[in-house]
Structure 1
Amino acid sequence: MTLTTPALLFPAISLLLLAYTNRFLVLAQLIRELNAREGEQVRPFVIKQIDNLRKRIRLIRTMQGWGVASFLLCTLAMFALFINVTLVGTILFGASLIALIISLLTSLYEIHISCDAIAIELESIGQKNK
């Protein structure tokens, strides 16, 4: 394995972390809007949304943590390869890939939960139309 192998992941991990941060910022804005809109009286469907948002925030934090771990392990792998400790570099790169896989699987689960949030919104719209 050469030094360039782990370097190939740098742009991908960076973009992934940026996407995760954007998801977090959107959720934070949504929570602020819900708080301002609902005030003292919280409707039942909003309580469902709040539970959903809590789960999603935790998942995004987990996604970001594993993404950062992947980035750090990838950097350490490059350093190990740079100082010609190939076995350690290979192991660190493998660990980086595992951390990235965990981050992506967590992201997939968060996307699934965000679809549940849309279903709650549709349910609320359906109740208004009755």
Structure 2
Amino acid sequence: MTKFFLSVHVIAAIIAIGPVTVAASMFPAVARKGDVATLTTLNRICRVYAVVGVAVPTFGFMTASAMGILGETWLIVSIVLTAIAAAVLGLVILPTQAEVLDAPARNARLAMYTGLFNVLWVIVTVLMIVRPGSTIGV
């Protein structure tokens, strides 16, 4: 069952988090051009895949539990960073995108928050691959 949970976790990360990071990254540049139709599409991608992205930590917890590694430091750091990334997306990026859609305007901080969101996911990905201090061997 662990392999199933891990497979779904990784597939969900690729399918859900990838599109959000790309669409969120494109949004500020498109906002500067004022292309409302494209902005609407990018915002929809971010909103839909943010919901689908809930599968990533859900199956991550299931995998970690099945492997008996919920107390590992690298995993706890990854969980905290994932929660921060989710908060940045849900509490800052998506509402700011909605504001830009309601009144098209340039928002310099949106690009900064999107960059922070992306860096958090890069760090989590590296932690998942490297697993510093991990007891599972690789």
Q: TM-score, normalised by structure 1?
A: 0.64
Aligned mate of 2:80, from 36, 47, 51: 51
| Aligned residue in 1 for 2:47 | 21
Report how far residue 121 of structure 1 moved.
0.8
Offset, 1:48: 1.4
Change (3 A) 1:23 1:126: farther
Distance change in 2, residues 1:37/1:58 (3 Å): same
User: Structure 1 residues 59, 119: closer, same or farther in 2, change over 3 A?
Assistant: same
| DSSP-derived class of the 1:43 partner | coil
Report % sequence identity: 5
Deviant stretches of 4+, over 4 Å = none
1:110 Cα deviation after fit: 0.6
Point out the structure with max Rg over C-alpha.
1
Letter in 1 for 2:83: R
With over 3 angstroms needed to count, the CA separation of the structure-2 counterparts of 1:39 and 1:9, relative to structure 1, is same
Cα offset for 1:31?
1.2
Structure 2 match to 1:107: 114
Residue type of the partner of 2:77? K
Equivalent residues of 1:27, 1:57 under 8 A apart: no
Aligned residues: 102
Partner in structure 2 of residue 122 of structure 1: 129
Q: Matched residue of 1:97: which SS? A: coil
Aligned to 1:68: 98
* Cα distance in 1, alignment partners of residues 109 and 35 from structure 2: 15
Quote how far apart the aligned CAs of 1:19 are: 3.3
